[in-house]
Structure 1
């Protein structure tokens, strides 16, 4: 037993700390890895929270946002309503569809253009708002990030190499 202890002490050093440090060269410390993962997840959640934090909007802006959310559900529910109407009263539905068939083609083109411009403009506005929020987040993150002083002293490996016989 004494010889094994001496051999292990020579290889790994005496004490548990040396053995732990030797093992951690080959395998990550699970507890430290979990702590790093938790910190990384916490930082990501904080970043998301700051990106999607709402700014205070006035009553008119909230009303218009609500009003802008009406057309898409109304069109989807209206289409489902047409299917229901066709099954409930086919004669009524048929007379309404005959009326739609009499609408001139240029009017259909105009309706298509209006709907396309409405949804296209809304898509563009939302995309620009998203880009603006990203730019603001990046500006805040860059302002909060520590800036290293110019020079080679910011690189620890280079500083150690200069201190050795490398230069």
Structure 2
């Protein structure tokens, strides 16, 4: 038994675990890794929420955002207008299309590149806006959970019974003869 105790003391003695330490050289400790990932994710969300605040947007940002909304509807409505103009005035439409046919191919490639980059950038900006909104929503979760708990706590509270109204000590000083309301006159008569 002394030999086994000696071997175990070497491996696990002195608040050490040689087996665990050796295994962690080849495989990451899953619990410690999860803790590090949780800490990193919390820091990223906090930084992300601070970086993208809608309250910090200037008037210039709002104007540029409004201008960025114009090209897509303009292109869609312009295309529909071309269909309408083809039906309303075919000669005018044919003259315009003949002019478009004279545009050289490199200019078409340039237009395609500009439109592609515009929509790509717009897609990226809207994706980042979505992530900003998502980060703000996630940041509000603890507050919403607390509010829901407070509301749910109100469900268990039963209101206190109101105290019975005390009767007046003396007779009511109304004249039943002058009262035009017959129901009130009868009630006052029964009361005394």
TM-score (norm 1): 0.49
Look at both structures and tell me which one has the larger radius of gyration over its CA atoms: 2
1 or 2 for the larger relative contact order (CA 8 Å, sep ≥6)?
Answer: 2
Which has a greater percent of helix? Answer: 1
